[in-house]
Amino acid sequence: MAKGYWSSVYPAISDPESLTAYIDLAGPAVQAAGGRVLTRGGRVVAHEAGITERVVLIEFDTFEQAVAAYESEAYKKALVALPDGFQRDFRIIEGID
């Protein structure tokens, strides 16, 4: 069965401190759903139209697990905590089996 991944790219973060409430809720929600953080804001070498800002990659045992984690009540509470005007490119991706 193919793994599932959350991929988040943050085009710009004007106020990193404003993410604290989201992070405090999202981390435990992801962990409770079986997610494993592979990278969170490490170094990035971007090519073509790539973005060098914060990149987060989270792995789940299955694609279905990744979708269910996003739809969980715990993660919905985290989404409410995202600051107004905040932008991110978020995707749930199915891995290769």
Note the pLDDT tens digit of each residue in 54-69.
889 999 999 999 999 9
Per residue in 69-93, pLDDT (tens digit) is 999 999 999 999 888 767 889 999 9
Res. 5 pLDDT band, cuts 50 70 90: very high
Report all structural domains of the chain as residue ranges with CATH numbers, in order of start: 4-94 (3.30.70.100)
Whether the per-residue pLDDT at 18 is higher than 80: the answer is no
- 27: which residues sit within 8 A by CB, 6+ positions away? none
To the nearest 10°, report the CA torsion of 15, 20, 21, 27: 130
Give the mean model confidence (pLDDT) for residues 20-43: 92
